[in-house]
Structure 1
């Protein structure tokens, strides 16, 4: 038994040493632009990153950047998967904050990027809370804020918390607050950003080619290559063509849950142009 533990410790130590060597010999990325896709969980950020990574001038991280650096708090590690607003104090960073090792983050991300490309793209929903810090430390940073119907997002956050991460899933009130507060923080901080644009999930899924070409213009790039019709994309647990899944999610909500979302996130829904739904009949 003791020998098994010793071997496990040795494997971990060897893995850590190899990782540190890789970081040490990875050059610091120096792209023409860093691009950050930010927005609430379950808003389509993975889909958008997958689509944007097809541009010949863009190298996109194959996973969320906050998972592959030891410099940021991870929501899963503190028992708050998909729920960073519950500990906003641990995630929020502005240009006046210090702490994370910027060079190390760039190297950790650089190990997973094609550094020959002029544009490097990263997406992590918790980065919605640290856009101002990222702008200060990442050259020519451009931010794409992705927003999706709050009813569908709240349903998705609650559903995806169960059973793998949170027993019985997140209560709908906390999921709605994550959507509303997360977008509020991003909206407020966007006023300090030099290069920021909003994109709606509904526009992306309704006309992905047009949306991508608008983003190419925002980034000063040539238009995106034409998307093959009905191509399937693997997004987390499903593989499907690009389509708006809002109705599927909203259909799962009860009248009481809709009332709760309206109470917590109603103002934010209206801020982003989403119509309030009727819940409990009175």
Structure 2
């Protein structure tokens, strides 16, 4: 994974060799996870009930995952894109581990018995632990996840869409060099693969097919990703009830003990010893927010965006360029 590469490998090699080491690292992980997906034995005990943390990227999914990860009965996996690529190649929306057909949005049609077996092989936790996985793009794949793990539970964390869009803009301003091929953008993947897939999948799903072409900045594209992600989760809310829990990032940061305890209670992970909870909430810091409170969007996107913002009591709003 990218974070593991940065923390464990990149500091140990000369700068000129980093692109080659990075490409080699991704290739090695691809080979390793594919072998696990094909060869690891599956037993009846591997039929488990995972927990998926979902929400548009830059909404606090990592913070929530790291807080829950402090629980002694949790196995937390953060953005295991190599594992997902081994489960189904089309999940590699960044085009790091597999090349070819790729999607941001996937539904039950992409799930076969082989897909389920591969998922169990690479994701199953040790006996007695609950798997908690967080990949923000999974907000766009609820049908896929529900078919691959029918007893899965989902925790949706949502943040002010204007803040998210502008945070995505900052993230997308950087890229990493690769030894072979074009750079890897920090948000949109290789050669903008994520945006290409998001536009194609979003249009096919009916999300603003005529307006998406007018989005020219990373801020606007980030707003589109937030809008589609939140609308997808809302569309699934009744079907997943009572397996879907929702909270706001602002509430998690302002009341971390109350909110985190509510989440783990809902997951059935309560315990008498709450020392882990004391350690977890030490990770919480105030939200650093020097963003603007407005962004420009086309007419229908703007109307839907602002309606969602109001429903969550967020202050940011989209405006027109007129």
Unaligned runs of 5+ in 1: 1-7, 79-86, 233-240
Tell me how far 1:92 sits from its aligned partner. 2.7
Answer yes or no: is 1:202 the counterpart of 2:250.
yes
Q: 1:188 to 1:275 in 2, by over 3 A?
A: same
Q: Deviation digits for residues 106-133 of structure 1, max 9, x if unmatched?
A: 21223xx4x1233111111111122233
Candidates 112, 121, 143, aligned match of 1:107:
121
1:250-269 matches, within 5 Å, as: 250=291, 253=292, 258-260=295-297, 263=302, 265-269=305-309
For the residues of structure 2 that align with 1:171 and 1:122, how far apart are their CA atoms? 27
Shift of 1:69: 2.6
2:92 pairs with one of 64, 68, 74: 74
Q: Deviations over 1:33-72 (max 9, x none)?
A: 31000000001111111110111221111x3133323214
Deviation at 1:210? 1.0
Higher helix share: 2
User: d(CA) in 2 for partners of 1:229 and 1:133?
Assistant: 31
Local SS of the residue matching 1:275? coil
In structure 2, do the counterparts of structure 1 residues 31 and 202 end up closer, same or farther at CA, with 3 Å as the change threshold? farther
Q: Deviations over 1:14-44 (max 9, x none)?
A: 9837951685235466365310000000011
Task: From 141, 144, 147, give the equivalent of 1:133.
Answer: 144
CA RMSD of aligned residues (A): 3.7
Specify whether residues 278 and 197 from structure 1 end up closer, same or farther in structure 2 by C-alpha distance, changes over 3 A only.
closer
Unpaired runs of 5+ residues, structure 2, are: 1-22, 176-184, 192-215
Q: Which residue of 1 aligns with 2:163?
A: 152
Q: 1: distance between equivalents of 2:57 and 2:282?
A: 23
User: Which residue is equivalent to 2:224?
Assistant: 177
More moved, 223-232 vs 150-159: 223-232
d(CA) in 2 for partners of 1:15 and 1:276? 40
* Structure 1 residue corresponding to 2:128, chosen from 103, 111, 117: 117
**Superposition TM-score, scaled by structure 2 size:** 0.64
**1:34, 1:119 within 8 Å by CA — same for their partners in 2?**
yes
Given that residues 31 and 119 in structure 1 are in contact (C-alpha distance below 8 angstroms), is that contact kept between their aligned partners in structure 2? no
Q: Aligned in 2, Cα 1:103/1:170: closer, same or farther, shift over 3 Å?
A: farther
Q: Say which is worse superposed, 120-129 or 261-270, in terms of deviation.
A: 261-270
**Alpha-carbon shift at residue 217 of structure 1 (Å):** 1.8
Output the CA distance in 1 between the equivalents of 2:38 and 2:155. Answer: 28
Question: Match of 1:83?
Answer: none
Q: Distance in 2 between matches of 1:117 and 1:189?
A: 29
Aligned residue among 54, 57, 78 for 1:38: 54
Quote the Cα distance in structure 1 between the aligned partners of 2:47 and 2:313: 35
TM-score after normalising by structure 1: 0.73
Say if 1:67 and 1:125 are closer, same or farther in 2 by CA, change over 3 A.
farther
Partner of 1:193: 240
Of stretches 27-36 and 142-151 in structure 1, the one that deviates more from structure 2 is 27-36
